[in-house]
Copies of this chain bind each other. A is one copy, B any other.
Amino acid sequence: MELLKQRIIKDAVVKKGNVLKVDGFLNHRIDVRLYDEIGKEFYRLFGKENVTKILTVEASGIGIACITAQAFGYIPVVFAKKGKTSNISDDVYTSRITSFTHGVDYDIMVSKEYLESGDRVLIIDDFLANGEAVKGLALLVSQAGAELVGAGIVIEKGFQPGGKELRGKGVRVESLAIIESMNDETGEITFRI
């Protein structure tokens, strides 16, 4: 998505430790007009898949998911909640995510009543790196007996293994910008063509 790549070149900052700081427009301060274009692009990619539900995980995915739902004709959004195991009841689907970024494990959960076996689910998230969040969300979809249509990702770090692993398992992953490499000394960012 050319508009997004241009915005990344213009406003993203490469930090040490493979951190790409895009919080000026994507996940702290939000440019909602850009979200509109992102939603339309996800619809262009997945619009023929009869998606019945958009699934994301708190927090940064929620806004993108809501605006993508508008592009899909107002299908419901469900966001998985993060929590500790103690919260987990029989009424939820749950999976554990290992966050390499934050160095902690946490559980995500969705109430069983909001993911159904007839659903065709599109996962939406802002970032894909090691793919833990998408794998965790896909597990919830599978627990519900629902169909996973694919994952729509805004920015994929192509030099981390998540995208390759998921595609290798047959998941359709569509990332609007895939970063091939980035350099925290020069600030240079190269996209996968």
Contacts and interface: CB of A to CB of B under 8 A. Distances in A.
Taking the full assembly, how many copies of this chain does it contain? 2
B32 A70 contact: yes
Given A35-B66, A63-B63, A111 B28 contact: yes
A178 to B, nearest CB: 24
Interface in A51-89: 58-60, 62-63, 65-67, 69-70, 74, 76-79, 81
A188 interface: no
A30 B66 contact: yes
Interface in A5-63: 23-24, 28-33, 35-36, 58-60, 62-63
A114 interface: yes
Contacts of A23: 111, 114
A76 B11 CA distance: 15
B111 A79 contact: no
A113 B74 CA distance: 34
Contacts of A32: 66, 69-70, 74, 76-77
Nearest to A75: B32
A36 to B, nearest CB: 8
A90 to B, nearest CB: 16
